[in-house]
Amino acid sequence: MLVILAIGGWHLTHILPFTPVGTTEVPAAELDFGSDQTTLKVLTANISYTNDHYTELLATIRREDPDLLLLIEVDRAWAEGMAPLDEHYAHRVGEVRGEGLGLVLWSRFPLLEQEVKHLVSDRRPSIFATLDVPGIGPVRFVGAHPVPPGLQDRILSNEKTDDRRDSRVRDAELMLIARHVEKDPDNRWIIAGDFNDVAWSDTTRLFADLGDLKDPRRGRRLLNTYHAEYPLWRYPIDHLFVTDGFHLIDLDRVKVQGSDHFGISTTLTEAIKDQGKPEASAEDEQAVEEMVEEGAEDAAEHNVSSSEEGETESK
């Protein structure tokens, strides 16, 4: 019984910060309905590339009507199924790939800068874009889908083995994204995607600390997103983090028909940006350096080039 209570208490310490008992990191917005206050709505969803509910997802997107839409695991069939989105979004950037590796961002706002980066693995794209948001100004956005631990490995001949990958490549990619934020603290940032990591892990904590990134779920809701079909086996692995300069209007989970993930809908508004930024500790900086080096070594030891070339999407 004592062991059960101890385990329950340990889990509770991870969950409580993501309930109203915890402290909020992103303040709630005080809406003035008589003003022309600018809002920014972001919808992120891992759609599951084996899914074929294209029509249902289009209906969900039209109902949610986000300003930014990040879809994860976009292959060629999904890119064709989502073609009607081009009538509603003037801007698009990303990479269409098979095997759950594609990543595409649609934006209502102009893209001042856009780039698809492969930070650690040639098989894993990340989207870096600078949005020109009216009433707010430039907003830096990163969409990511790092490799999940436990994924079946490949040897250099591109044949699968019985071995399973650990978390080193994922951790390195998250640290490299956080370093981009750390080096550019004067801009507003939004980092979103399927991190394949829970919100309370040491890696996610270090990622947030390094970039001074805030989690809008803290002090509000846990928002477990995976696995959508199994309520008792459900964890928060889909994330959206922001830097100072945003207040939260709304945060909710969205059903994605046919996917094993829920989507996340986040509505933000402008706040006065805090110019102060705490420096990462020497210990954290050392841990980040080790994660990046280990991830690079692991990627070099394995076959991270794809047998299927990705297709860059932009307009």
The pLDDT value recorded for residue 250 is 96
* Alpha-carbon span 163 to 22, nearest angstrom: 39
pLDDT at residue number 306: 44
User: How large is the average pLDDT for residues 77-101?
Assistant: 97
- The pLDDT value recorded for residue 76 is 97
Distances (CA, A) of 222 to 83, 213, 238, 296: 33, 17, 11, 32
User: Model confidence at 274, in pLDDT bands (50, 70, 90)?
Assistant: low
Indicate if the pLDDT at residue 277 is higher than 90: no
User: So what's the pLDDT on residue 55?
Assistant: 98
Model pLDDT, residue 161: 44
32-41, 136-145, 177-186: which range is least confident on average?
32-41
Strand 188-194 and strand 137-144: the pairing is parallel
Nearest residue to 266 (alpha-carbon basis) of 238, 237, 230: 238
% pLDDT > 90, the chain: 69
Upper half-sphere CA count for residue 276 (Cβ side, 13 Å): 1
Q: What is the pLDDT of residue 289?
A: 75
What is the arithmetic mean of pLDDT over 248-269?
A: 97
Residue 241 is encoded by which pair of tokens?
Answer: 């983090």
**Whole-angstrom Cα distance, residue 222 to residue 16?**
9
Which carries the bigger pLDDT value, residue 286 or residue 142?
142
Distance CA 33, CA 168 (A): 47
Q: What is the pLDDT of residue 164?
A: 43
Starting at the earlier edge strand, list the strands of the sheet with 188-194: 111-117, 126-133, 137-144, 188-194, 238-242
Confidence category of residue 286, pLDDT binned at 50, 70, 90: confident
List of E strands, the chain: 39-46, 68-72, 91-96, 103-107, 111-117, 126-133, 137-144, 152-154, 160-164, 188-194, 238-242, 246-254, 263-270, 311-314
Rounded distance between C-alpha atoms, residue 143 and residue 130, angstroms: 12
φ/ψ region of 18 (left if φ > 0, alpha if ψ in -120 to 50, else beta) reads alpha
Distance CA 291, CA 127 (A): 21
Average pLDDT on 260-273 reads: 91
Q: Which of 152, 151, 198, 154 is nearest to 174 (CA)?
A: 198
Rounded to two decimals, what is the model's pTM? 0.88
Number of other residues whose CB lies within 10 A of the CB of residue 230: 9
Least confident piece of the model among 51-65, 222-236, 280-294: 280-294
End-to-end CA, the chain: 60
pLDDT of residue 313: 78
The confidence score (pLDDT) of residue 167 equals 85
